[in-house]
């Protein structure tokens, strides 16, 4: 019998993260439902369990170093390794004005979750991912973080100018490449997933895609075989330019 994979998804209590957990769970993966709020996390894990998925709620606030290291300790105690980390937790931030009116704090607020949180969670989980036969890290990025699309006036994504959120996803893309470079020559692959424009709380449900559709590329990258890419930025339709 094949050994079940163990996957941690941050921000898995709702939206795309919940769907990533559901789809990974449906493929036989044990899912650790990362949530910053215990009640919301348990509710999500219970709802996954009701669908026949092995789901365990794990408190993890990506901005809180103690919860991050406690989560790593708990995963080590229970399983001794981690096969998949999906860095999904993200916020848009409250600032929506033009870049000239943004403060450093407006950016810092978003970066704490979308960028620094990813570094802190990834570094805490890497020792466990190194114990996997095929560790996979998936960073939930966005087309709106693509420099190439932002610089192309013909791109629909160029219309948006949310400096904090968009640059945080650009930074996340940079992190993806940085970790992929370090981990080249190991079994661990690190990629950026672009879900498309998905109707969730983060965008007040202004999106054509469903969370289930948005989750597909992350799930694919989470389950890549040894021939798959590392250091790539992908959507369901293929490569997204950096």
189-194, strands of its sheet edge to edge: 55-59, 30-35, 6-9, 84-87, 136-140, 189-194, 233-235, 238-239
Write the binding mask 142 to 161 for ligand NAP: x where contact by CB under 6 A, - elsewhere.
Answer: x-------------------
Piece of 24-32, 124-132, 199-207, 220-228 that binds ligand NAP (CB under 6 A): 199-207
CA distance 118 to 124: 10
Instruction: Name which position in 8, 23, 24, 90 contacts ligand NAP (CB under 6 A).
Output: 90
End-to-end CA separation in angstroms for the chain:
40
Q: Is 16 in the site for ligand NAP (CB under 6 A)?
A: yes
Residue 193 and residue 140 in contact, taking contact as beta carbons nearer than 8 Å = yes
Kindly tell me which of 17 and 135 has the beta carbon lying closer to ligand NAP: 17
Q: Which two tokens stand for residue 162?
A: 């949310």
Piece of 96-104, 152-160, 173-181, 192-200 that binds ligand NAP (CB under 6 A): 192-200
Q: Is 237 in the site for ligand NAP (CB under 6 A)?
A: no
Piece of 24-32, 58-66, 76-84, 94-102 that binds ligand NAP (CB under 6 A): 58-66
CA distances from 173 to 8, 53, 115, 146, 234 (A): 20, 31, 10, 8, 11
Shortest Cβ 67–ligand NAP spacing (Å): 8
Instruction: Name which position in 33, 56, 71, 89 contacts ligand NAP (CB under 6 A).
Output: 89
Piece of 93-101, 129-137, 190-198, 229-237 that binds ligand NAP (CB under 6 A): 190-198
Shortest Cβ 159–ligand NAP spacing (Å): 15
Handedness of CA 213, 216, 217, 222 (dihedral sign): positive
Q: Which residue has the tokens 């949180």?
A: 117
Residue 11 and residue 34 in contact, taking contact as beta carbons nearer than 8 Å = yes
Residue 90 and residue 9 in contact, taking contact as beta carbons nearer than 8 Å = no
Instruction: Name which position in 4, 37, 46, 182 contacts ligand NAP (CB under 6 A).
Output: 37
Q: Is 230 in the site for ligand NAP (CB under 6 A)?
A: no
Contact footprint for ligand NAP (CB under 6 A): 10-11, 13-17, 36-37, 40, 61-63, 88-91, 113, 117, 140, 142, 195, 197-198, 200-203, 207
């Amino acid at each position: 019998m094949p050994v079940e994979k163990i996957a941690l998804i941050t921000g898995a209590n709702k939206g795309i993260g919940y769907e990533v957990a559901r789809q990974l769970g449906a493929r036989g993966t044990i899912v650790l439902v990362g949530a910053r709020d215990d009640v919301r996390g348990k509710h999500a894990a219970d709802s996954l369990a009701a669908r026949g998925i092995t789901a365990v709620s794990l408190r993890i606030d990506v901005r809180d170093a103690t919860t991050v290291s406690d989560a790593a300790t708990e995963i080590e105690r229970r399983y001794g390794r981690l096969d998949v980390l999906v860095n999904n937790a993200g916020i848009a931030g409250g600032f929506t004005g033009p870049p000239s009116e943004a403060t450093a704090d407006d950016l810092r607020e978003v970066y704490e979750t979308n960028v620094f949180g990813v570094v802190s969670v990834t570094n805490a989980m890497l020792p466990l991912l190194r114990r996997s036969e095929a560790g996979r890290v998936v960073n939930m990025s966005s087309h709106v973080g693509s420099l190439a699309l932002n610089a192309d006036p013909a791109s629909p994504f160029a219309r948006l100018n949310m400096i904090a959120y968009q640059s945080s996803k650009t930074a996340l893309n940079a992190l993806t490449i940085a970790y992929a470079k370090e981990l080249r020559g190991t079994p661990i692959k690190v990629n950026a997933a672009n879900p498309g424009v998905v109707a969730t709380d983060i965008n007040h449900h202004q999106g054509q895609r469903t969370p289930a559709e948005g989750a597909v590329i992350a799930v694919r990258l989470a389950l890549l075989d040894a021939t798959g890419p590392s250091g790539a930025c992908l959507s369901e339709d293929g490569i997204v330019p950096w």
